[in-house]
Amino acid sequence: MTLAADLPLWAALLIAFFLLIGAGLALIGSFGLYRLRNFYDRIHAPTLGTSWGTAGIILASVIYFSVVESRLVLHQLLIGVFVTATTPVTLILLSRAALYRDRVAGNPDVPLLHPLTTPLRTSSPENNPAAAHENTDEIKE
Amino acid sequence: MSATILYWSVTLAQIALGIAMILALIRMIKGPRAQDRVLGLDTLYSNGMLLMLVFGIGTGNSLYFEISLIIGALGFVATVALAKFLMRGEVIE
Amino acid sequence: MNSLFPYPLLTISLLITWLMLAGFSFGQFLLGTIIAIMAARGLAALHPCDSRPRHWRLLFRLAGIVFYDIVRSNIAVAQIILHDGKKTGKSGFMTIPLELRDPMGLAILAVIITGTPGTAWVDYNSARSTLILHVFDLIDETAWVNLIKNRYEHLLREIFE
């Protein structure tokens, strides 16, 4: 905290505001992860921390380093770009893996393989892991 | 005055992110299923990344930025590999 | 797009990223330019899908809409978690038929839907063009369909198709 004494008051207040918003949202997100009851509910909770949680802390960091070094420091924004691009990828992969596992396990709460039509064949997707497997490949096309 | 504001906000943010990491860790340990554990690990990673950024503000050292970039990159790769493992039962096919 | 310098936008963003990480100097600028051009040519060699946005102004409008929606849904989801996170049965899966076919547009839609707290992209069936989503706060199903089809998909179709 050696450089902090030189900060003007408005900068300190802005940094404190964004830091507390960011950390608070990350905390609420993790709290939701801990508290919610099933996996598909929980998958919504960490996005709080990765959207405005990250944005708040990055903005605080940009303001702090820009004021302290008296020039525009923007490289923290790269973390924001990176997190915005990667979080959806991990969450989509995870939720598809969970859906696949639930279909194989025959969990009745998850949607069927072909939701708009009732399955015609006698073997429903839940009893036929190979069919569910095929469907998961289609998104890659 | 501004030093006090900064000190307390950084401390509070560190405490909040520490608690967030503990909650994610609890979810990782409790499960109940493998996908919950992976989601807990992913949240743990991203909270750790944010904590490093807050350390950077607290110490005025921009080296922490690089640490958090590495944590973010490794966390992404780890979660993708684990999600693929959950789906297929193997990472390398 | 010519064969020597494909993907000019990607090249410039890679160069900017490089300079932000390494600091600006003439040597870094030269090195970053070389690496960015090589990376763009490497990407061109992989032959990714070749769809690019037609209307840049609409893309910025979409970014503004998404920014606003992320702020709004952050507040909404945080309130639900803090007040009645223990109540279950309000969340659920939804199936939406999509008319958007462009791979780039679908990728952007996936990022928007998953990045916004409260909605998660679960599975997309490209043979049937149906999307399965999980919605955290499934009180009014038509409102969510309306949000995705009119607010995002309509704009994305105008941009990419």
Do C19 and C72 lie in one domain? The reply is no
Do C40 and C61 lie in one domain? The reply is no
- Whether C50 maps to a domain, the answer reads no
Mean pLDDT of A1-8: 62
Tell me the CATH number for domain B2-88.
1.10.287
pLDDT tens track for A13-64: 889 999 999 999 999 999 988 888 788 888 888 888 888 889 999 999 999 8
State the Cα–Cα distance between residues A62 and B42, nearest whole angstrom: 25
CA distance A139 to chain C (A): 6
Residue A99 confidence (pLDDT): 85
Cβ atoms B64, A61 nearer than 8 A: no
pLDDT tens track for C118-134: 888 888 887 788 888 88
Does a cis peptide bond (omega within 30 degrees of 0) precede residue C103? no
- Whether C16 maps to a domain, the answer reads yes
Would you call C21 and A116 a contact, using CB atoms and an 8 Å cutoff?
no
Range of the domain at C103: 56-160
Q: In terms of C-beta density within 10 A (0-12 exposed, 13-18 middle, 19 or more buried), how is residue C60 classed? A: exposed
The yes-or-no verdict on residue A124 having pLDDT over 70 is no
pLDDT tens track for C58-114: 888 888 888 898 888 888 888 888 886 555 557 788 888 888 888 888 888 888 888
| Chain C residue nearest residue A33, CA to CA | C81
Where in chain B are the domains? 2-88
Where in chain A are the domains? 8-110
Interface size A-B, in CB pairs within 8 Å, comes to 184
Do C99 and C27 lie in one domain? The reply is no
Q: Is the ipTM of this complex over 0.90?
A: no
Would you call A43 and C95 a contact, using CB atoms and an 8 Å cutoff?
no
